[in-house]
Amino acid sequence: MSVKNIAIIGAGWSGLQISKVLIDCGFNVSIFEELCDVGGTWNPSNAYYDLWLHTPMYRCQFYDYEDFLNRNPLKKLRASDVFEYCKNYSKFTSLYSCAKFNTKITKVSYNSKTNKCILSAFDKQNSINTDYTFDFVINTQFNIPRMPSFKGIENFKGNLYHSNDIKEYRFDEITKRKDKVVLLGGSKSGTDIAYTFAKRNYNISWVLRSMYWFMCFDKTCFNSNTGKKPSLFYRMLYLFGTLFMINEFFTKIILFIWMITGYIKCPGKLHLNFRKFHLGYLDDDQLSIIAHQTNQIYSEIECLLEKQILLKNGQTIDCDTLICATGCDIIADEIELYKDGERINYKDIKYLYQYSVISEIPILCFTGLANLTFGPVNGYYRAAWILKFIEKNLSSKELYDISVKQSISSELYPFNKGNAMFDSSGFLLLTVKRRVRIMLTDFCDLKEFFGYVYNVIVKFDTAPLKSVKKYIDSKIKPEDPNILNEKFK
């Protein structure tokens, strides 16, 4: 296939990194972003108040831009710093010049005769629809807030928010009014919001089914109080744990070892449900405040009343404001897909080639479903994967046959299952690893992969896999006028 013009949907940090690599390789790249700026998850319109990067910055850096805002790369950063970092990168690389903001892609229509896609773009500011034609489309959609449907919602007279809606000004409004707040959900965003209220001695009712086990940031990455790196013991514990989570049985054993060594912690009612493990990192201060200063109620919402909430355990709680920390879906806000005029229903899609491409539209790649890791690091590897995929030039039939053969029964119907990254289960690492294996077979051997994991976990270094970097470097076209190397001043 002859590919020149590529569309990237989403200017989150993975979309930015993918765009940069593809531009360097000589493609014409257009980025479409429905928000008014870059940053995705870390953009102020998505980030909730007091959102921090859970992982240290070094694990999320753009490969060709090591400016960590002059901070220790082992530290966590605030969402606002990550947003600044994304903006600086976009200026430094001139990526702003190929991005259309406030532009939401609503439809992708594939024409199998011309082998091109038409993107329908809605300009939110001017309410205008425009169609654009591309040789290849990359959809980086990742986090779309998920709201549960509640019985009795029509009677509820209080405020109802998703955790993403809790911006600083809204937090101030709630606390100034002295609202009776109920927080729903116990995963990472739930613990972040509970921590924000508890830190300010504001008492809320926190309804959750079960507390999660979380990684201890100070034991994994960096102790912000002492300024010390974790001991080699803990780093090795993490390394071996990560490498040996090869099946459900081993995953349980490793999580159990992590529990008894205090490497993962549950800041609430203890349990041995290994599926209630979240690959999020809480530091000692967060763990202590969440464990000792929050009012945790282990139940579920039965229905909403006028200014109260009835729980399944029969308890009723007063509520002026209900905050749902109920996570995000990958494609809840679906972009309509068409092939030769016929609508493709996401729910009917059974097979995805390497978790990325549906055989019906061989020139549309989903990057959010397969992650080597997060953000720019994911973007860099995905870019290499996409370059190779374009080169392979597989037909719809070939894609279908391979994906049927490769598919793993429990992971059928990927669009029905939602985002593996947010299933918050102890088996998350396992599913990620399967994806990693598939993605990396094209590039490196097991030894190199283990070396990479060792570097990230023990040496705190995310230099890209040599074979991936070599491959990307071999595709870069320095003579191409599209190469954007002007340093941002």
Ligand X SMILES: Cc1cc2nc3c(=O)[nH]c(=O)nc-3n(C[C@H](O)[C@H](O)[C@H](O)COP(=O)(O)OP(=O)(O)OC[C@H]3O[C@@H](n4cnc5c(N)ncnc54)[C@H](O)[C@@H]3O)c2cc1C
Site for ligand X in 351-370 (CB under 6 A): 368
Beta strands 5-9 and 136-139, pairing class: parallel
**220/308 with CB nearer ligand X:** 220
> At its nearest, how many Å lie between ligand X and the CB of residue 395?
27
**12/267 with CB nearer ligand X:** 12
What count of other Cβ atoms lies within 10 Å of the Cβ of residue 316?
11
Which region, judged by CB under 6 A, interacts with ligand X, from 3-11, 112-120, 339-347, 426-434?
3-11
> At its nearest, how many Å lie between ligand X and the CB of residue 435?
14
Asked if 375 interacts with ligand X (CB under 6 A), we say yes
Closest CA to 472 of 63, 190, 13: 63
According to CB under 6 A, which one of 12, 185, 186, 190 is a site residue for ligand X? 12
Asked if 73 interacts with ligand X (CB under 6 A), we say no
According to CB under 6 A, which one of 40, 73, 267, 268 is a site residue for ligand X? 40
Closest CA to 318 of 477, 158, 472: 158
According to CB under 6 A, which one of 58, 142, 277, 351 is a site residue for ligand X? 142
In whole angstroms, give the CA distance from residue 34 to residue 50. 23
Distance of CA 325 to the CA centre of its chain: 15
Closest CA to 274 of 237, 241, 248, 238: 248
Beta strands 336-339 and 342-344, pairing class: antiparallel
In whole angstroms, give the CA distance from residue 222 to residue 216. 10
> At its nearest, how many Å lie between ligand X and the CB of residue 45?
8
Site for ligand X in 87-106 (CB under 6 A): 104-105
Asked if 10 interacts with ligand X (CB under 6 A), we say yes
> At its nearest, how many Å lie between ligand X and the CB of residue 418?
13
Both tokens assigned to 89? 């990168």
The count of C-alpha atoms lying within 13 angstroms of the C-alpha of 225, restricted to the half-sphere facing its C-beta, is 7
Asked if 41 interacts with ligand X (CB under 6 A), we say yes
**14/30 with CB nearer ligand X:** 14
Both tokens assigned to 439? 């993605």
Q: What are phi and psi of 289, to 5 degrees?
A: -65, -45
Which region, judged by CB under 6 A, interacts with ligand X, from 4-12, 240-248, 289-297, 438-446?
4-12
Asked if 19 interacts with ligand X (CB under 6 A), we say no
Both tokens assigned to 127? 């309410």
Quick check: 164 and 157 in contact, CB under 8 A?
A: no
Alpha helices in 201-313 (DSSP H): 217-220, 232-244, 248-260, 284-292
According to CB under 6 A, which one of 30, 93, 143, 251 is a site residue for ligand X? 143
Alpha helices in 57-209 (DSSP H): 79-92, 168-177, 188-199
According to CB under 6 A, which one of 8, 21, 54, 193 is a site residue for ligand X? 54
* DSSP helix/strand/coil, 321: strand
According to CB under 6 A, which one of 13, 366, 380, 449 is a site residue for ligand X? 13
* DSSP helix/strand/coil, 42: helix
**31/317 with CB nearer ligand X:** 31
Asked if 286 interacts with ligand X (CB under 6 A), we say no
Quick check: 395 and 362 in contact, CB under 8 A?
A: yes
Asked if 34 interacts with ligand X (CB under 6 A), we say yes
Asked if 9 interacts with ligand X (CB under 6 A), we say yes
In whole angstroms, give the CA distance from residue 323 to residue 175. 13
Asked if 140 interacts with ligand X (CB under 6 A), we say yes
> At its nearest, how many Å lie between ligand X and the CB of residue 454?
19
**55/294 with CB nearer ligand X:** 55
**223/407 with CB nearer ligand X:** 223
What count of other Cβ atoms lies within 10 Å of the Cβ of residue 97?
10
According to CB under 6 A, which one of 3, 14, 137, 222 is a site residue for ligand X? 14
According to CB under 6 A, which one of 93, 189, 419, 431 is a site residue for ligand X? 189
Asked if 389 interacts with ligand X (CB under 6 A), we say no
Asked if 323 interacts with ligand X (CB under 6 A), we say no
Site for ligand X in 328-347 (CB under 6 A): 328, 335
> At its nearest, how many Å lie between ligand X and the CB of residue 217?
10
Element at 429 (helix H, strand E):
helix 428-440
In whole angstroms, give the CA distance from residue 332 to residue 350. 17
Query: Which letter does DSSP use for residue 330 in this model?
Result: S
Instruction: Give the interface with ligand X as residue ranges (CB under 6 A).
Output: 9-15, 32-35, 40-41, 51, 53-55, 60, 104-105, 140-143, 189, 328, 335, 368, 374-375
